[in-house]
């Protein structure tokens, strides 16, 4: 149950941020937050990560739904044997993926607004952040398991 609450919380925070940007900004409008380093910029992304596959919403949505279902089924079936860090990872990935699919199905595009200039040329959103955090959790868990395994082999 705590993981369902976490997923729900992540979706809500993502959707509130997108709603506020959509309500307060015009498409393409940008506001500096930290000098020229960090801006809030309203972008309507009709593709996937990094703007790839623009205009292919049907294909993207179908593949995303299949991926969400696959991850959700794996998470549910293996829940009891997954370590906490991996559970957190899948929760963040699902929260982010669901946040973006809601946009695609409801709006026909994903709202992006996080714009780090000078170090990154792409604008992204909190759902993308959640997905990346989830991947980091899973990679860290894998790294820790591998390291523990090697230490056991040494003993």
In 3D, which of 138, 6, 133 has the Cα closest to residue 82?
Answer: 138
Phi, psi of 20 (to 5 degrees): -65, -40
Side-chain half-sphere CA neighbours of 115 within 13 A: 18
Given the residues 103, 112, 115, 141, select the one marked as catalytic: 112
Integer angstrom CA distances of residue 89 from 10, 43, 47 = 12, 27, 24
Our answer to whether residue 112 is catalytic in this structure is yes
Our answer to whether residue 103 is catalytic in this structure is no
| Residue 47 three-state SS | coil
Given the residues 14, 115, 128, 141, select the one marked as catalytic: 128
Q: E strands along 14-141, which residues?
A: 30-34, 38-45, 110-116, 123-124
Strand partners, 30: 41
State the catalytic residues: 112, 128
């Amino acid at each position: 149950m705590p993981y369902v609450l976490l997923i729900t919380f992540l979706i809500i925070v993502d959707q509130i941020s997108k709603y506020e940007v959509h309500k307060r900004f015009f498409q393409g409008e940008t506001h500096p937050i930290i000098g020229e380093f960090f801006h809030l910029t309203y972008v309507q992304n009709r593709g996937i990560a990094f703007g790839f596959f623009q205009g292919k919403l049907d294909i993207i949505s179908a593949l995303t739904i299949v991926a969400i279902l696959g991850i959700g089924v794996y998470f549910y079936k293996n829940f009891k044997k997954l370590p906490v860090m991996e559970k957190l990872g899948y929760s963040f990935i699902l929260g982010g993926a669901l946040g973006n699919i809601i946009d695609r199905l409801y709006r026909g595009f994903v709202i992006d607004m996080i714009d780090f200039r000078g170090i990154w040329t792409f604008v992204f959103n909190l759902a993308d952040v959640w997905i990346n955090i989830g991947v980091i959790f899973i990679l860290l868990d894998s790294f820790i398991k591998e390291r523990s395994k090697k230490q056991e082999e040494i003993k």
